[in-house]
Amino acid sequence: MTNVERQEISEVVARVATWPPAERIELARKILETVEVAPASQAAGRRGVPSQQVLGLWKPDGPVANDEETQGILEEKLLKKYGS
């Protein structure tokens, strides 16, 4: 933003500062309406990976371990890390 643009904005703000709140809100709404909003498809594309694809990353290839198998895996990892 250039200094000229900033000055113009300051002048507009100073000019409407004395307006009643309802009129300032109406002006703000009209200004916001002039801003182009990106279509939903573009906005979603910029956000990254679709949720279904992310969920697929966590899906196991085979059956999940039961409690006994999980306990064995945990014990094996702890023995490897801390020894016997």
Mind listing the pLDDT tens digit for each residue in 56-71? 777 778 888 899 999 9
Instruction: List Cα–Cα distances, 78 to 67, 70, 72, 74, in angstroms.
Output: 16, 12, 10, 6
Q: How many domains does the chain have?
A: 1
Amino acid 10: pLDDT: 92
Q: What's the pLDDT band for 27 if we cut at 50, 70, 90?
A: very high
CA dist 79 and 6 (Å) reads 65
Q: Are the C-beta atoms of 73 and 65 separated by less than 8 Å?
A: yes
Q: Which domain holds residue 38?
A: 3-82
Is pLDDT of 40 > 60? no
End-to-end CA distance of the chain: 66
% of the chain with per-residue pLDDT over 90: 45
pTM for the model: 0.41
For residue 24, the tally of other CB atoms under 10 A from its CB is 14
